[in-house]
Structure 1
Amino acid sequence: MFTDVTYKVILKGMKAKQEKDILHGITGSVNPGEVLALMGPSGSGKTTLLNLLGGRIMKPTVGGSITYNDQPYSKFLKSRIGFVTQDDVLFPHLTVKETLTYAALLRLPKSLTREEKEKRAMDVIYELGLERCQDTMIGGSFVRGVSGGERKRVCIGNEIIINPSLLFLDEPTSGLDSTTALRIVQMLQDIAEAGKTVVTTIHQPSSRLFHKFDKLILLGKGSLLYFGKASEVMIYFSSIGCSPLIAMNPAEFLLDLANGNVNDVSVPSELEDRVQMENAETQTRNGKPSPTDVHEYLVEAYETRVAESEKKKLMAALPLDEMLKSKVSSPKRNWGASWWRQYSILFCRGIKERRHEYFSWLRVTQVLSTAIILGLLWWRSDSSSPKGLQDQAGLLFFIAVFWGFFPVFTAIFTFPQERAMLSKERAADMYRLSAYFLARTMSDLPLDLILPILFLVVVYFMAGLTLDAGSFFLSLLAVFLCIVAAQGLGLAIGATLMDMKRATTLASVTVMTFMLAGGYFVKEVPVFVSWIRYMSFNYHTYKLLIKIQYKHKLSSVNGMIIDDGLKEVTALVIMVFGYRLLAYISLRRMKLPSAA
């Protein structure tokens, strides 16, 4: 139940802050077994109202009362709410079955076993008619997958898997053909008939869809134009003198009215009188009411004829759900899995999702072709002469640069690309941010190790670097440390800026600076900028590779003393953890739905 709900946003102008009213005193209710549709033109406030009712907006600029079984919003209630966003936020490389199984493992209560959670996922697949495509990838912009209607059903399945008491949906039929849209709405009606409460925004439904709704809220410019049974909406507007003059889809008629468009609509005498009075005052001859006149008339008509009686009816509203009677006010958040289980589930999901991206033929070709070109250019190089030594140092520097550059520009997209998914899943309290962050960064490591091994095997033996097992594996370890440090920098830049263009620009400048200060191009760096090289993973990796290759041959190379390389390893390890800590702090500070 919601009474006199208002919402304002603060606009930061050039001179002073201004407040803009988005919603003006919206009142209504919805009971178990009912589907409530929120309708209105674009910008009328229906998505904002849906977010308020679903607990997605909790700001001091919200006014009025929103209660669930006469109780306020709580953390326990959050676990009983399903919220389907307008955008289909799904991982493209996971199958339908994998997507719903991971949702079940993370969201269903700890009291259930893994087998019971997996069975629940299969039950939802059959309930939504997805059994034929359960082993098909979801797909995306560059990956072929399931149809639009099936994607939408998977999104709904992600939410109904927890058997919610309330289900909120934002434009569930957008982008779907009329037949698919009808099937989605019929499914929502079936969910409601099972004793659930369904609230959905809808933009312009067909007449068949419109008649599936039990209750309707019509909004115009943030004001309530109608609340009541969907079947009685035409009777109400006829009673205030607004009737279609031609056969029309009720939804089209209502949206025309909400927009202030009275073409093909009878104009009530009260409104005509008002227009004539305004024309007399302004000495104009335009006989048609303006959209503003129509809007004001509809708001006044609803407030004088219906609003008070509807508020009285709300006093006798039914409870939402038996399960909520005693627990709805509980302040405790209910995680579906322990921290370790969250981490392990997200780790497995991360590897399954990204293995296709890591081992795409394009990426494998890029790495192997670079390795072969390097091997040919430095074919059987000899470090016994000063010139040969200088050539080999150039190869080692290129390896340090290549495996510093490559991971940065892969990692900067990680959090900006997954921001929508992170926001959606955190809003549903699916996992702790710390479990997600650690799983997301750790699941890349096994994948990150395979291509460098292939690269180094080709380059190492073609170029004739030091042929002993110890030197090879230490070189591999140095490259791996460089990759993980560079990846950390990319994660930190991406998490801090959360904008791909700005992150790419900053990463380009940073990587270029690190490369130039890497100890190969400039040996004597001026004191006032010498600190840059100590932050450069290229510099430490290059020095480490030099020391590994020539530790048994030379005491110094280009003035660099050959020691055990402990300082370089320490510096890289500090970067590995330091950059990741910065990325985690940036994620925590990012405005995401609250979860600890």
Structure 2
Amino acid sequence: MALPPRQSCVDHEEISLGEIKIKTKDPACMCEVEVAPQHCSVDIKSVVIPIYLKFVDVRCSIRFKTSTLCRGSSNIVGKEILHGVSGAVGPGQILAMMGPSGSGKTTLLSLLAGRSQTNLHSGSITYNDMGYTKALKRRMGFVTQDDVLFMHLTVKETLRYAALLRLPKKLSRQEKIQRADSIILELGLDKCKDTIIGGPFERGVSGGERKRVCIGQEILIDPSIIFLDEPTSGLDSTTALRILQLLHGLAQAGRTVITTIHQPSSRLYHMFDNLLLLSNGHAIFFGRGQDALPYFSSIGLNASLLMNPADFLLDLANGNISDTSIPPELEIKLIQSKGDSKVGKPPELAVQEYLVECFSSEVAFRDSSVDSPPHAKDVILPPRREWSIGWWQQFLVLMSRGFKERRHEYLSWLRVFQVLVSAVVAGLVWLHSSADSEKHLQDQVGLIFFISIYWAYFPIFVAIYTFPQERAMIAKERASDMYRLSSYFMSRTLGDLPLNLVLPLVFLLITYFMAHLKLTVGAFLLTVLSLFLIVIAAEGLGLFIGAVMMDTKHATTLASILLLIFMLTGGFFTHGLASFVKWIKYVSYTFYAFRLLIKVQYSRSQVYDCLSATGCKSIASARVMADVDLNEAGPMEDVFALLLMVVGYRILAYVALKRMNTAR
């Protein structure tokens, strides 16, 4: 979609690119352009706005609770994890942040990307000399250390759904799909495009291919700045090199690339334009990667063995100088640290302090080390964030994606086998049951109680895992403004309804007719509808418990306790409940589920025990019906109560999900 060519790029001429406005300056436009004689045309699909990132004296603290064993009390303690870190990086460059585990790399990366959950930070972080706004999310890509992907989707499906959600609504569906397919070719994923992502227990693409898929999701939108957290973690050296070559190509296209990396090979190390070396939250070097070894040599630290430069730098960041020649000043510090028994300072800490002092005094960061160009502020981003597509489109895409991902889980052979076995066993136990006597009636009511309890238990323990398992995915996609939380929640809730009906229907088709329950079309259809209502009520409770706890073990324990209480007070095991526990059954969906199925199967005009000496009796007078009043107008009271729980549980689940830190 190219804009009409102009006769010239007039100084300060404003070109509108949909949501982005660019002020051009002669002699060259700020964006990627196709230059013809006396013309400047811009293709909206290839625009990469240059972003210069600068951070000065960034500090960050965390707070955590410490408990006292003897007193049982807790105190809130603060700890600074970043100590005045500074640096800068511009378009066309790769900034690598190196350091040992726990040195603050990921924390700094999150701060620079505007994704930190803590407000306890200070310092200046600017993008083209401007502060962070949520509108910048549309120009940023963030690749997490863990590959957060749906395991049952193929590579092609993963990237196509990301394109449908993230690319602007001005593009047609076919154009978005073409964009995703072009990314597949660009990343060399064509051979595995129809292979599922896979997971720990299901074979899929390789680790390197999975990482490229994650990168592909981010470069779909042509971001101006890309953040990557340990993109080579767990990969072999050859695959890691391919990933870095890919990042180098992205940088050469005018993007700004910032990545954390733990222990790169020598080949990877020489691909970094800039290097920031961290040690315990302190910067001990910032500058060009090729200048790191000469700098440490200038302060008297040289490797005594031939080794990978990255290994040497990480040894220094850890305070390890076993294979390093050291200057006299550091020798004195080490002797003093050993001799001071009161302080008991370890030698590694003394080395780190020396490195921090040297960096602060000799090559401290200067604000002008990477200057933003004069036209940096001419890039005008929207004052507020805007969604790529509307709510309804988000809902439809998420519904389609969710159905493809979860159909394997809902209709897995193990789950189908479980339901089939349960249905057949129940049918055999209650084979050809009847309601012609008190004993037989009690047995048949026992079957109805079993059906209500089984389908009150089964869905809840499936739904409990929904949000805890997808928490990382929600956090990742919501942080990128891929969709609204409400559209995700509605698609997740409504999208499961067709799948939730399949297994209960299969169960009922087997058990209902084997047990000879009420053999009329109306009774069977009403039983199906009632069972469906029970299932979605149980699922709602499971969603609520999972959203509140966000931990599957704790959620499962809580659900087991609640269901046990609901079952015991449901009106089958005992009818003479004490007043202080009697109220529980009125908030229990199992109580209303049991009553609803009873009212569908029996009516007050139905009789039993007609062959006895006392003659026919109304089923409404049977002792097993003590908690079910068949003289009522119908089951609408129970239907209304269950519908209230269906809606109420889901509202509570949404509120709990909204309060979750990742649901911004």
Q: Please tell me the TM-score bracket, short chain as reference.
A: over 0.9
Q: In 2 relative to 1, CA 384–79 (structure 1 residues): closer, same or farther, beyond 3 Å?
A: same
Would the aligned equivalents of 2:474 and 2:663 in 1 still touch at CA under 8 Å? no
> 2:472: which partner in 1?
420
- For residues 157 and 283 of structure 1, do their structure 2 counterparts lie closer, same or farther at Cα, with a shift above 3 Å needed? closer
* 1:245–1:541 CA distance, 2 compared to 1 (3 A): same
The CA distance in 1 between the partners of 2:396 and 2:484, in whole Å, is 12
1: CA distance between counterparts of 2:199 and 2:80? 37
Aligned pair 1:77/2:136, yes or no?
yes
Q: 2:573 aligns with which of 521, 525, 546?
A: 521
**1:277 Cα deviation (Å)?**
5.3
Instruction: Check if 1:8 corresponds to 2:61.
Output: yes
> Is 1:371 aligned to 2:423, yes or no?
yes
For residues 79 and 202 of structure 1, the distance between their equivalents in structure 2, rounded to whole angstroms, comes to 25
Describe the shift of the 1:593–1:325 C-alpha distance in structure 2 as closer, same or farther (beyond 3 A): farther
Q: C-alpha distance in 1, partners of 2:480/2:97? A: 22
Matched to 1:500, the amino acid is T
| Equivalent in the alignment of 2:368 | 312
Does the 8 A contact of 1:492 with 1:579 survive in 2? yes
- CA shift, 1:11, in A, is 2.7
Question: Matched residues in 2 for 1:505 and 1:85: separation?
Answer: 31
**1:507 counterpart residue number:** 559
| 2:457 counterpart SS class | helix
Which secondary structure does the structure 2 equivalent of 1:71 belong to? coil
Q: CA RMSD in A?
A: 1.9
Partner of 2:151: 92
Query: Which deviations, in whole Å up to 9, do the C-alpha atoms of 1:287-340 show, x marking residues without a partner?
Result: x991122111111111111115x33324x2348x97x84324x33112111011
Q: Does 2:54 align with 1:54? A: no
Seen in structure 2, the aligned counterparts of structure 1 residues 525 and 500 have a Cα distance that, compared at 3 Å, is: same
**Per-residue deviation, 1:274:** 3.4
For residues 276 and 359 of structure 1, the distance between their equivalents in structure 2, rounded to whole angstroms, comes to: 68
How many Å apart are 1:141 and its aligned residue?
1.9
User: Larger relative contact order (C-alpha < 8 A, sep ≥ 6)?
Assistant: 1
Q: Contact (CA 8 Å) 2:533, 2:643: kept in 1 or not?
A: yes
Indicate conservation of the 8 Å contact 2:129/2:372, yes or no: no
- Post-superposition offset of 1:523: 1.6
Q: 1:105 aligns with which of 153, 161, 164?
A: 164
Tell me which residue corresponds to 2:225: 166
Deviation at 1:79, TM superposition (A): 0.9
- Bigger strand fraction: 2
Equivalent AA in structure 2 for residue 476 of structure 1: V
Is 1:207–1:249's contact at 8 Å kept on the other side of the alignment? yes
Q: Which residue of 1 aligns with 2:45?
A: none
Kindly tell me: are residues 279 and 531 of structure 1, through their superposed partners in 2, closer, same or farther at Cα, counting changes over 3 Å? closer
Number of the residue aligned with 1:578 = 648
Residue 281 and residue 200 in structure 1: after superposition, are their counterparts in 2 closer, same or farther (change >3 A)? closer
Aligned in 2, Cα 1:301/1:483: closer, same or farther, shift over 3 Å? same
Which stretch of structure 1 is more off in the superposition, 542-551 or 461-470? Answer: 542-551
Counterpart residue identity of residue 288, structure 2? K
| Larger Cα-atom Rg | 2
Task: Find the aligned partners of 1:155 and 1:233 in 2 and give their Cα distance.
Answer: 31
Residue pair 1:84, 1:169 contacting (<8 A) in 2 also:
yes
Q: Give, in whole Å, the separation in 2 of the partners of 1:455 and 1:58.
A: 46
Cα deviations across residues 573-595 of structure 1 (Å, max 9, x unaligned)? Answer: 0110111111111101111152x
Aligned to 2:507: 455
Whichever residue aligns with residue 418 of structure 1, its letter is E
Indicate the residue corresponding to 2:275 in structure 1: 216
Q: Aligned partners of 1:444 and 1:539: how far apart in 2?
A: 24
For residue 10 of structure 1, give the secondary structure of its aligned residue in structure 2.
strand
1:240 is matched with 299
Counterpart position of 2:99: 40
Q: Is 1:76–1:334's contact at 8 Å kept on the other side of the alignment? A: yes
> After the TM superposition, which residues 236-385 of structure 1 pair with which residues of structure 2 at under 5 Å, given as runs?
236-276=295-335, 290-308=347-365, 310-314=366-370, 316-318=371-373, 325-328=378-381, 330-385=382-437
Does the 8 Å CA contact 2:274/2:287 hold for their aligned counterparts? yes
Write the letter of the residue equivalent to 2:63.
I
Q: Within the alignment, does 1:141 sit opposite 2:141 as a pair?
A: no
Gaps of 5+ in 2: 1-53, 68-73, 608-617
**Using the alignment, how far apart are the partners of 2:384 and 2:555 within structure 1?**
38
**Residue 522 of structure 2 corresponds to residue 467 of structure 1:** no
Post-superposition offset of 1:58: 5.9
CA deviation string 1:148-202 (max 9, x = no partner): 1111111111111111000000000001111111111110001101110100000
Structure-2 residue corresponding to 1:401: 453
Q: Given the superposition, is the C-alpha separation of residues 550 and 58 from structure 1 closer, same or farther in structure 2, using an over 3 Å criterion?
A: closer
Cα deviation, residue 504, structure 1: 0.6
SS of the residue aligned with 1:464? coil
Instruction: Please name the residue that 2:610 is paired with.
Output: none
In the TM superposition, what is the alpha-carbon distance from 1:278 to its structure 2 partner?
5.5
**TM norm structure 1:** 0.95
Counterpart position of 1:561? 629
For 2:63 and 2:533, the matched residues in 1 are separated by 47
1:125 equivalent in alignment to 2:193: no
Matching residue's letter, 1:160:
I
Q: Could you say if the C-alpha distance between residues 345 and 281 of structure 1 is closer, same or farther in structure 2, counting changes exceeding 3 Å?
A: closer
Q: How many residues align?
A: 587
Please tell me the residue identity of whatever aligns with 1:397.
F
